[in-house]
């Protein structure tokens, strides 16, 4: 059972990072005036795991992209590992489809797809500021058989 859970968590983190960090083959993103995508890196961004700032995360690298009915929040890598990746529906209210982050060598995730539910997340919107809170679950990358790890998180990002 632990192998299945570790596999699902690893797959979820990988998918979230790929979707959240994809750059559409290097082509420039359409301007917000085109109505196809909106990219935001401004505003106050905060990412906390277990009540503390996510170690190694450069808050200036966190971006928010609205495109194709999705809201993607992503960051640069942390110490050579996946940083932060969130995929939400651009609905009212938005819902987290997948979330992946790496904390102290642990791959943590939230997902409710492919018949598997891992972790939990809730989104609150105040204007263009999104606050995502919940509990991410995962496994130690170096020892995935050690059992599940659960950590509370809070992410606040502005997405114009």
Largest CA distance in the chain: 49
- CA distances to 31, 110, 111 from 96, rounded to whole Å, are 25, 8, 8
The tens digit of pLDDT for each residue in 71-125 reads: 999 999 887 777 899 999 999 999 999 999 988 878 899 997 777 789 999 999 9
In a domain, 147, yes or no: yes
Q: Quick one: average pLDDT of 29-39?
A: 41
pTM for this predicted structure: 0.73
Count structural domains, the chain.
1
In a domain, 31, yes or no: no
In a domain, 32, yes or no: no
In a domain, 57, yes or no: yes
Q: What was the pLDDT predicted at 35?
A: 44
pLDDT band (50, 70, 90) for residue 34: very low
Q: What kind and span of H or E run contains 130?
A: strand 129-140
How many Å apart are CA 55 and CA 9, to the nearest integer? 21
Residue carrying the six token digits 């082509």: 27
The domain of 116 spans 2-22+38-158
pLDDT band (50, 70, 90) for residue 43: low
């Amino acid at each position: 059972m632990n192998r299945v859970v570790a596999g699902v968590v690893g797959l979820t983190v990988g998918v979230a990072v790929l979707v959240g960090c994809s750059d559409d083959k290097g082509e420039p993103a359409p301007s917000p005036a085109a109505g196809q995508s909106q990219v935001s890196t401004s505003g106050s961004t905060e990412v906390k795991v277990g009540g503390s700032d996510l170690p190694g995360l450069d808050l200036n690298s966190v971006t928010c992209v609205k495109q194709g009915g999705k809201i993607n929040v992503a960051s640069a890598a942390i110490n050579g590992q996946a940083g932060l990746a969130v995929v939400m529906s651009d609905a009212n209210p938005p819902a987290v489809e997948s979330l992946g982050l790496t904390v102290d060598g642990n791959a943590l995730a939230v997902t409710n797809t492919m018949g598997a539910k891992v972790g939990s997340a809730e989104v609150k919107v105040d204007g263009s500021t999104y606050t995502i809170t919940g509990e991410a679950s995962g496994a130690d990358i170096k020892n995935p058989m050690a059992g599940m790890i659960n950590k509370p998180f809070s992410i606040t990002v502005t997405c114009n």
